[in-house]
Chain A
C-alpha cells in the first residue's frame, strides 16, 4: 500500500510537469500581448517592460526561468495588479471559491443520495418519474441558466435573497444551488440505477432471511454496494463544479479564483494564467488519486497496487 502511494505520487508529479509544459507553450501561442492594449506606453517603455519580464527571450528559456522560480515557490508577479504576487492573489481569493465548491458538492451529494435512494426504492411510481424528469433537466440545463432564473425570481421578483456579492450565508444560497444541480441530478440517476440493481441481488435476500429490519437491509447491505460506482463519477462531478464556478462566480460577482481566471485570460496576464492553471491541474490530479484510494476503502475486493493479504 505504501509503495503504491509513493508510486502514484511519483506519477502525479510527472503528470503535473507535463501539464505545466503544455500550458506554458500553448499560452505563449495565444495572440496578443499583455501590454499592447495599454496605449499610454511608448514603444521604448514597452520594450523595457518586455525585457524586464523576459518576454523577448525564446520560449524554452522563458520556461526554464519559470520552472526555476516555481521551485523557489515564486509564481511571478501579476501583470494587471501592480506589486501583487500571483501566489498572494491566489491565497487571497481561494477561500470563496473553495467554500462555494465544497458547498455545491455537499448539497449535491446529500440531495442526490436522498433522491436516488428514494426513487430506487419507489421505482416506477409517481415519485420515481418526477425525480427522473428533474434529473434529466438538471443534467441538460447549464448551471448559468439556473443562476439567471434564480436571480430573476428569488432575488429580483421576490426579493428573498441578495442578487450578488459574497457577504454572508444568504449570499451563498443561489450560487451553491446553481452549481449543485448537475451534481444532484447525476448522483440521483446513478444511485437509482444502482439501487435497483442491488435490490435484486441474492445477498439482499440473505439479509432479509436473517430477519434484519428493512432499514438495516437497505442502509447496511444495500447502500455501500450502490456507492461503489457512484464514486467513479465524483471526479468528473468535482471537475464540472470547478469549471462551472468560472461562470457562476462571474454571474454572482463572487471574488473567487474562477472570476480571476476569466479576467487573466482576457488580459493575457501570463503569470496569473499559469498560476491558476497549475492550481487547477494539481486539484484534478489529487482528486483522481483520492477517488482511487476511496475505491479501495469502499470495495474490499479492489486491492491497490497488487498488495497481498
Chain B
C-alpha cells in the first residue's frame, strides 16, 4: 500500500458462475488512482472493465459473481475485508457511480427530487428541507434549468442527456472522493456526449475529486483522462499517461485501438479494425489473451503469460515484444497520432 494513492487495486480476480462454467471476467488486475486524477479504463466489450469498476464498491451481484482474490486499498484500508454494512456507508458518499444507460438507471416511479434527496438524507445528517435545498443546488450545478420545478417531475419527463445529468447530480450529492463513470456517454447521441464530458471535466475541477472513467471511446479518453489503463481479456495490457498511450504505445492491442480511430486525412477508404474476437473467458488462454489476434504474435505469446515491462515511471506494458530476445518492432504507421 502506497501512501500516494487514494485507491489501489491489486491482483483483482472476479469470476461469474453460469450453469456449468465459471467465467473469469477479471484475472489479476492492478491499477492505482491518485487524488484529483482522472483514470480511464479502456477496452472493448467483455474486456472486464465494467466488472473491475463495479467490484470496487461491490456492486456486482453475488452470486453469480465472486471476487476471488486481490485487495482494494482505499484510504489505507482493504475494502475487500469489510462487511456489507461498511460498503453501504461508502457507496454514494465516498465512492459513487454513474452508469451507461440513463434511460433505465433512474427509478421510473419516483420523482427526480426524491431520488437525489434520498442519497443526501441517507449519508448526511440533515432534514428533508435541507436535503431538497441541496438537491436544487445540485441540479443547478449539473446544468438543469428550472430545478425548483424539475424536482417534482418523473424521469420520463427528462431527455436522455438530462437524465444523465440527474445521475451525475445523484453521484455528486455527498461530495464523493471518487466518481466512477461506467461508459457515461455510450447511450447518448454525439452532441450530448460532448456536453456530458465537458460537464464531468468541469465538475471534477470544481469538486476536487478523482474520477475513473470506463469507456471504449478514445476521444473521451483524450478529452478527460490523465492516465489510461488498457484492458484486454480480463487483464491489463498497458498502462501509462495519456500522452504515453497516444504517442508512445507499446502494446499491439493499443496499436490496434489507435489504428481503428477514423482519421480525416487518411487516404485509406476502409476503416481499420482488429481482426477476430475477444477470448472466451470461460476457458481463458494460458498465454497472452491477445495473442490469437495479434499480428506480431510469437510462439511464446501463446504458451506463457507475458511479464510486465516498465518503459518509464508511469508506463507499464504486458507484452513479449518488449522482451530482450524479441525482434524489435516499431509502432505501425496507422497507429501513429500526429501531435
Contacts and interface: CB of A to CB of B under 8 A. Distances in A.
Interface stretch (B8-16, B92-100, B250-258, B277-285): B92-100
Size band of the interface chain B makes with A:
20 to 34
Contact of B105 (A202, A213, A300): A202
Size band of the interface chain A makes with B:
20 to 34
Contacts of A212: 88, 92, 118-119, 122
A211 B59 contact: no
A205 B156 CA distance: 19
B109 A211 contact: no
A211 B171 CA distance: 11
Interface string A131-154: 000000000000000000000000
Given A209-B92, A209-B171, A211-B93, 18 more contacts: A202-B104, A202-B105, A203-B105, A208-B59, A208-B91, A209-B96, A209-B97, A210-B92, A210-B96, A211-B88, A211-B90, A211-B119, A211-B122, A221-B107, A224-B109, A228-B109, A300-B154, A301-B108
A225 B122 CA distance: 21
Contacts of A208: 59, 91
A217 B18 CA distance: 26
Contacts of B118: 210, 212, 220
A153 B156 CA distance: 54
B91 A300 contact: no
A193 B49 CA distance: 31
B170 A202 contact: no
Instruction: Tell which of A202, A225, A228, A298 has the most Cβ of chain B within 10 Å.
Output: A202
Contacts of A209: 57, 59, 91-92, 96-97, 99, 171
Nearest to A309: B157
B106 interface: yes
30 contacts: A202-B99, A202-B105, A203-B106, A203-B108, A205-B59, A205-B105, A206-B167, A207-B107, A208-B59, A209-B57, A209-B91, A209-B99, A209-B171, A210-B91, A210-B96, A210-B118, A210-B170, A211-B88, A211-B90, A212-B118, A212-B122, A213-B88, A220-B110, A220-B118, A221-B110, A224-B110, A299-B109, A300-B111, A301-B156, A309-B157
Nearest to A227: B109
B90 A203 contact: no
Contacts, number: 77
Q: Is the interface of A mostly helix, strand, loop or mixed?
A: helix
B89 interface: yes
Instruction: Tell which of B96, B119, B167 has the most Cβ of chain A within 10 Å.
Output: B119
A225 B110 CA distance: 10
Contacts of A224: 109-110
A201 interface: yes
Interface string B74-91: 000000000000011111
Contacts of A299: 108-109
B275 to A, nearest CB: 33
A203 to B, nearest CB: 4
Given A205-B59, A301-B156, A211 B107 contact: no
A27 to B, nearest CB: 45
Interface of A: 201-203, 205-214, 220-221, 224-225, 228, 298-301, 309
Contacts of A228: 109
Contacts of B90: 211
B101 interface: yes
B123 interface: yes
A210 B106 CA distance: 12
A297 to B, nearest CB: 10
B170 A300 contact: no
A212 B92 CA distance: 9
A225 B155 CA distance: 14
Nearest to B120: A210
Contacts of B123: 211
A210 B104 contact: no
A206 B88 contact: no
Given A211-B89, A300-B154, A301-B156, A206 B107 contact: yes
Interface string B106-149: 11111100000011001100000000000000000000000000
A211 B92 contact: yes
B92 A301 contact: no
Given A211-B119, A300-B154, A309-B157, A225 B108 contact: yes
Nearest to B157: A309
Nearest to A208: B59
